Amino acid sequence: MAVSEQHDAYPCSPRRQTMTRIAFIGLGNMGAPMAHNLVKAGHDLTVYDLSASAVAQLTQAGASAAADAASAVANAEVVITMLPASLHVERLYLEDDLLGRVAPSALVIDCSTISPESARKVAEAAQGRGIAMIDAPVSGGTGGAAAGTLTFIMGGDEANVARARPILEKMGKNLFHAGGAGAGQVAKICNNMLLGILMAGTSEALALGVANGLDPAVLSEIVAKSSGRNWATELYNPWPGVMPQAPASKGYAGGFGVDLMLKDLGLAAESAMTTRSAVPLGELARNLFAMHSAGGSGKLDFSSILQLYTRAPQK
């Protein structure tokens, strides 16, 4: 079922040249660079975020500002949301009844990472109003969002997924259709459980090496070319100074927050309980990130989990 459309199969398609009226809600670490790429691609964007400064940055780039979410979606052909968690998505679409403001002809794409149950609940409510909706959580981090190389993992009807592709291709490189409504979230949760385990494991290995006299940059280079290599050692090294572009080298600012990773590991734990699946490493990672968050690091990038292993990382 996983279909990857990495290449521009129809470069001359009239549909691809059409400017689409898009409402984009949620302009945080991920949403802002994603929205930028849609503006750059020539789409007509109306944006909204609770943070006025986040909205201001997008209007400087050419987007229009809406006073609230309802005004943002009023004339939209496509609505995209990039919010923190299930709570925010359900509150916006259901409790605040944003679905009631969306045109029945519009396509709604929720890119937030939320529980599969929430995704299905909102998709069903949309369907009840005749509105097409898919879940399309992303992978690739803020670097991928800025570069337009994200991976989108979609859940929903094939026809709606096909409608979403030309838009998502402006923000990502790999587009997968995981299955029906909520399936994108299931795949994303599995991926992030593995990511949490790998980041904690990478931090543990680097801390061990440094405690035994190794240079973290040298050890990282060795691991990146050896059997322990992973996304963290290749693109997102947790040790400050090893990768100048990584959040670790910027005081763990921006990036993917500890509390967001903790949320995703919690979603994995919930899914595991539902199906009586054993996820001992996922649970251990969840506990490590919970301890780290409780120590006051919830807003730091998740690679700061390194600090659990070494209190004063060398720069």
Q: Shortest approach of ligand NAD to residue 38 CB, angstroms?
A: 15
Nearer to ligand NAD by C-beta: 112 or 307?
112
Q: Does 191 bind ligand NAD (CB under 6 A)?
A: no
The DSSP-derived string for 201-264 is HHHHHHHHHHHTT--HHHHHHHHHTSTT--HHHHH--SSTTTSTTSGGGGTT-SSSBHHHHHHH
**Contact (CB, 8 A) for 150 and 138:** yes
**Contact (CB, 8 A) for 132 and 153:** no
Tokens of 161: 């997924």
Give residues 19-48 in contact with ligand NAD (rule: CB under 6 A): 25-31, 48
Nearer to ligand NAD by C-beta: 209 or 282?
282
Q: Which of 274, 278, 116, 254 lies closest to 189 in space, CA to CA? A: 116
Residue 315 annotated in active site: no
Stretch that binds ligand NAD, among 37-45, 80-88, 165-173, 287-295 (CB under 6 A): 80-88
Nearer to ligand NAD by C-beta: 138 or 285?
138
Q: Does 51 bind ligand NAD (CB under 6 A)?
A: yes
Give residues 233-272 in contact with ligand NAD (rule: CB under 6 A): 255-256, 260
What is the radius of gyration, based on Cα positions, of the chain?
20
Q: How far from chain centre, in Å, is Cα 179?
A: 18
Stretch that binds ligand NAD, among 50-58, 151-159, 214-222, 231-239 (CB under 6 A): 50-58
As a whole number of angstroms, the distance between CA 91 and CA 168 comes to: 24
Nearer to ligand NAD by C-beta: 86 or 220?
86
As a whole number of angstroms, the distance between CA 14 and CA 215 comes to: 54
Amino acid at residue number 256: F
- Single out the catalytic residue among 121, 170, 173, 188: 188
Q: Shortest approach of ligand NAD to residue 91 CB, angstroms?
A: 7
Contacts of 188 (CB under 8 A, 6+ apart): 113, 137, 138, 139, 153, 264
Site string for ligand NAD, 137-176 (x = CB under 6 A): -xx-xx----------------------------------
Residues that bind ligand NAD (CB under 6 A): 25-31, 48-51, 54, 69, 82-85, 88, 92, 112-113, 138-139, 141-142, 255-256, 260
Residues marked active site are found at 188
